[in-house]
Structure 1
Amino acid sequence: MPQSATALPVTLDREAATPLAVQLADALRDAAATGHLRGGDRLPSTRALAARLGVSRTVTSAAYEQLHAEGWITGRHGSGTYVTTSPPSDRPVQRVVPGEVAEPEELLDLTPGTPWAAGIDRAAWRRAWRAAADAPPLTSAHRAGLPEYRAAIAEHLLRHRGLAVGTDSVLATGGTTAAVFELAGAVFRAGDTVAVEEPGYQRAVEALLSAGLKVVGVPVDGEGLRTDAIPAGVRGVYCSPAHQYPMGSRLNAARRVELVERARAENMLIIEDDYDGELRFDVAPLPLLAALAPDVVVHLGTTSKILTPTLGAGWMVAPGAVTSAVLGHRDRTGTRPSPAGQRVLVELARHGDLGRHLRKLRRELSERRVLLVSALREAGITVLGDDAGAHLVVPFPSPEVERERLAAGRVRGIRLDGLARHFAGMPTAFGVAIGYAGCSREALSGALDTLVGLLR
């Protein structure tokens, strides 16, 4: 039977500054942690609890939403809401939601964003670091980045992304998010509005917001960013046209032309985040926006997805006025990207190790994707996203289903990423994004049956 509100250790102080929903979530969380509530206990519905506590349903719904997100409770369709944890004790009591297992301490992380760092040739890695250490210590800052690094990136862009640029057109960065933050401070003014993909990369959104800019979400579909939905008056558009994050679509040719034409006509700056553009498995990617319209496009790339975040190295190719503004911003603030990772990348490129790793990476991730997509589709599970990158999307019909599957995944030993958190505004699409690069192939294969059972 559901717990009654009077049986729950809940005391709400309506005079306190802390919101009632926060007080209620804290009380229920404490009850689960101390053992008053145990794994498998069924909680009242949000409506029943609101009536018994004398508060609005908004309060109880918000508290349950928070506890769902933290993994303390889970919903079962047609059955109710249950506590998922057991209290600490000398002899743990394994009481869980009926039909579920206790959440293990070690979870298989299938969230997107983790690269296949285990595939890096360790001998080449050590050789690159030793060679980088042989260079003498710097006595002055290179605000634009090390010249040899900029040259290596120019060659990389030509070989792997079809973008022909001179060394002087490349700026080193600390990665794509760091570059967005620099652009927000150097090129835009506080109060300017930038359009962003919805759903999209929230770290870039936060970088824009932290600089005092406004953001407006623009929906995406199976053909990428809805360019017709970009409102008038925006100063910039942030997008990932080669492999939209997180939905995995590619901006089609017609929309690319429309986006560029609008940027030129309305004085907008396009920020092209090419975070994993090297990882295409089916066909050659469409030309970069920076190749189509170098006058209105800032191209951003990173080593974090193709190698490792250890290097902390990325790049920017931008129109001259933007490059000058960024360098001026670095001069004023005394900031610059770290040269250590740049030196290592130079050595990996110099000996051909970067190219060899990319070829191996594409083969490995392509085979992992086939393995995962085949298992899901054979089970009748819908899969979204182009044949590219290191993640795919399984859509769900509602936020409740998304929360339930995320929580069920944790108790089954798998960490997944929900789509709802990738919205700057109100979520309109739900599901999970599954990353397949960070774990070993053996671990991925071993989890397929559990994953299919979870998502079916």
Structure 2
Amino acid sequence: MELHITLKGTRDLAKQITEQLRDAITQGKLAAGTRLPPTRLLAEQLGVSRKTVADAYAHLTYDNLLVGRVGAGTFVNPHVPPVALPLQDNELAGAGVIRHWRDAFMSMHHPTHTLRYDYLGGATGKHQFPHDEWRRCVLFALRQGAQSRGLYGQAEGLPMLREAIARHIGFSRGVRCGSDDLLVTNGAQQALDLVARVLVEPGCTVAVEDPGYPPARLLFAAQGARVVGVPVDDQGLQVALIPDGTRLIYVTPAHQFPLGMPMSLERRLALLERARELGAIIIEDDYDCEFRYEGRPTDCLQSLDRHGLVAYVGTFSKTLLPELRLGYLVAPPGLRKALLSAKQLTDCHTATLTQWAVAKFILDGYLLKHIRRCHAAYSSRREQLIERLEGDLAPWFERIHATAGFHLAILDKGGLDIPLLIELAKQVEVGLYPLAPFYYSATPRTGLLMGYGCIDTLDIPPSLDRLRELLQQLSPRA
């Protein structure tokens, strides 16, 4: 690749090269540490003598903009300060909007530390992923891509994948839909974003569970909604507390996030009736309910809907891998065209290579096989956790009964300093996470969210032994 330098005339050539290189370095066009072409090569490209280029390099080296390394070449000094500092956010015309978005997501991050024993909620272990089967599906996707015209894909997703998803969720969750009802999205978060784009206006009311899923609440607030936290009890969202004028209701009825209890049938029917009275849309986030351990499977809320009020959202982040960024949305009839338009404007379409691979993965039976394999592993881990929580950890914690998913919410029985416990646990390589951040306006309950999706089964006993030792030091109990 040639270095972009333009020369005018035949006078002061070394000075022209020096000044253009200086501007490129100080303006960031030549990044710190970039290797410059050898003087002979650059001289040939510019049609000047090698001495002219060498003089320019020497001058910039004297000014500490370039550094020479014997046997390696000439490089941009990695410590060059910029001549002009960029404007701060409060100096820009859109300062208010920038601050709104910046502050909204200050708390949104994924842990980057790698502790030996990690109870991160909502995460799965990559060691369980069926790499051999996935590789075959990716090769299939590559062959499909090679045969395509290389044009943009359908905004709603590949027909093969939509058909595969419709069959899968109809079989496993009782969702009533066909392929035409589905939109393929970049994870569940984009599905939530699309619904918010077509329904939410500044000042309108959106009801969310409290405690609940922070990314959903923050997304609605970022769109200008007045977000109202509705408390939950042992039957789920308290429908009677949904305020008048609510336009959108976000719920996790099958496995309430983060506490874990399922919404009762009576409460589900009441929620559908309340939404009908309000003319509100319900977002049903069915994020991890392929993994059920007790009782009979419950119908999803969408299957009970007779008025087209439920937008059903699902994801492959929990069953496959979060990094695939693939989810889906079963659109209510009244929103289909609007959601499709929003999808087209947002990103045109989801990457087709991943869509082909996931479609093949589902249709060849690999997904159900993988879910069964994961179910066995999660069930074993869950049993170990429950046994310890009802055994030697019982003096400190009680669990909230949950029948699905791969996390448990456990409540402090009183007196524990949860932030201190979490910091001490890090020192012994155990990752623990508090319940408090999931609360919005309701008074937080003190406890932990114990995810068992990415911790190895054999690591649970030693990690809980370390937790028990910490608990005995912090709050000795009989």
TM-score (norm 2): 0.71
2:139 pairs with 1:130: yes
Hey, what does 1:414 align to over in structure 2?
Answer: 430
2:391 pairs with 1:375: no
2:154 pairs with 1:142: yes
2:291 pairs with 1:275: no
**Which of 373, 396, 404 pairs up with 2:412?**
396
2:321 pairs with 1:308: yes
Counterpart of 1:135 in 2: which secondary structure? helix
Pair 1:343–1:445, CA change in 2 (3 A): farther
Structure exhibiting the larger radius of gyration computed from Cα positions: 2
Pair 1:105–1:435, CA change in 2 (3 A): closer
Question: What is the CA-CA distance between 1:325 and the residue it aligns to?
Answer: 1.0
Question: What is the CA-CA distance between 1:399 and the residue it aligns to?
Answer: 9.2
Hey, what does 1:265 align to over in structure 2?
Answer: 277
User: What is the aligned-residue identity percentage?
Assistant: 32
For 1:388, the aligned partner's letter is A
Q: Distance in 2 between matches of 1:279 and 1:322?
A: 30
Hey, what does 2:167 align to over in structure 1?
Answer: 155
Question: What is the CA-CA distance between 1:454 and the residue it aligns to?
Answer: 3.9
Pair 1:399–1:167, CA change in 2 (3 A): farther
Q: Distance in 2 between matches of 1:439 and 1:179?
A: 28
Q: Distance in 2 between matches of 1:218 and 1:399?
A: 27
The correspondence of residues 183-202 of structure 1 with structure 2, limited to 5 A, is 183-202=195-214
Hey, what does 1:361 align to over in structure 2?
Answer: 374
Hey, what does 1:435 align to over in structure 2?
Answer: 451
Conserved 8 A contact 1:227-1:255: yes
Hey, what does 1:88 align to over in structure 2?
Answer: none
2:453 pairs with 1:444: no
Pair 1:153–1:119, CA change in 2 (3 A): same
For 2:190, the aligned partner's letter is A
Flag structure 2 segments of 5+ consecutive residues without an equivalent. 1-112, 473-478
Conserved 8 A contact 2:275-2:282: yes
Question: What is the CA-CA distance between 1:117 and the residue it aligns to?
Answer: 2.8
Counterpart of 1:327 in 2: which secondary structure? helix
The correspondence of residues 243-258 of structure 1 with structure 2, limited to 5 A, is 243-258=255-270
Flag structure 1 segments of 5+ consecutive residues without an equivalent. 1-103
Counterpart of 1:315 in 2: which secondary structure? strand
Hey, what does 2:252 align to over in structure 1?
Answer: 240
Q: Distance in 1 between matches of 2:358 and 2:436?
A: 35
For 1:271, the aligned partner's letter is I
Pair 1:173–1:455, CA change in 2 (3 A): farther
Conserved 8 A contact 1:311-1:340: no
The correspondence of residues 22-171 of structure 1 with structure 2, limited to 5 A, is 106-136=115-145, 137=148, 138-171=150-183
Conserved 8 A contact 1:376-1:452: no
Hey, what does 1:93 align to over in structure 2?
Answer: none
Conserved 8 A contact 1:366-1:388: no
Question: What is the CA-CA distance between 1:285 and the residue it aligns to?
Answer: 2.7
Conserved 8 A contact 2:176-2:302: no
Higher mean Cα deviation, 338-347 or 213-222?
A: 338-347
For 1:369, the aligned partner's letter is R
1:343-390 superposed Cα distances (whole Å, 9 cap, x missing partner) = 221111122111101111111111110011101111223111313211
Conserved 8 A contact 2:254-2:298: yes
Question: What is the CA-CA distance between 1:173 and the residue it aligns to?
Answer: 1.1
Q: Distance in 2 between matches of 1:288 and 1:301?
A: 12
For 2:249, the aligned partner's letter is V
TM-score (norm 1): 0.74
Question: What is the CA-CA distance between 1:435 and the residue it aligns to?
Answer: 0.5
For 2:318, the aligned partner's letter is K
Counterpart of 2:399 in 1: which secondary structure? coil
**Which of 324, 328, 332 pairs up with 2:337?**
324
Question: What is the CA-CA distance between 1:225 and the residue it aligns to?
Answer: 1.2
Q: Distance in 2 between matches of 1:281 and 1:315?
A: 24
Pair 1:282–1:400, CA change in 2 (3 A): closer
Conserved 8 A contact 1:239-1:271: yes
Higher mean Cα deviation, 333-342 or 377-386?
A: 333-342
2:187 pairs with 1:175: yes
For 1:409, the aligned partner's letter is A
Q: Distance in 2 between matches of 1:390 and 1:121?
A: 19
How large is the RMSD of aligned CA atoms in angstroms?
1.9
Question: What is the CA-CA distance between 1:332 and the residue it aligns to?
Answer: 3.5
Pair 1:335–1:396, CA change in 2 (3 A): farther
Question: What is the CA-CA distance between 1:125 and the residue it aligns to?
Answer: 1.6
1:95-152 superposed Cα distances (whole Å, 9 cap, x missing partner) = xxxxxxxxx9844221101113321222112111111111125412311011111001
Counterpart of 2:283 in 1: which secondary structure? strand
For 2:409, the aligned partner's letter is V
For 1:254, the aligned partner's letter is E
Counterpart of 2:454 in 1: which secondary structure? coil
Question: What is the CA-CA distance between 1:417 and the residue it aligns to?
Answer: 1.2
Hey, what does 1:59 align to over in structure 2?
Answer: none
Q: Distance in 1 between matches of 2:450 and 2:134?
A: 28
Question: What is the CA-CA distance between 1:341 and the residue it aligns to?
Answer: 2.3
Q: Distance in 1 between matches of 2:282 and 2:134?
A: 35
Counterpart of 1:168 in 2: which secondary structure? helix
Conserved 8 A contact 1:243-1:386: yes
Question: What is the CA-CA distance between 1:297 and the residue it aligns to?
Answer: 0.4
Question: What is the CA-CA distance between 1:418 and the residue it aligns to?
Answer: 0.6
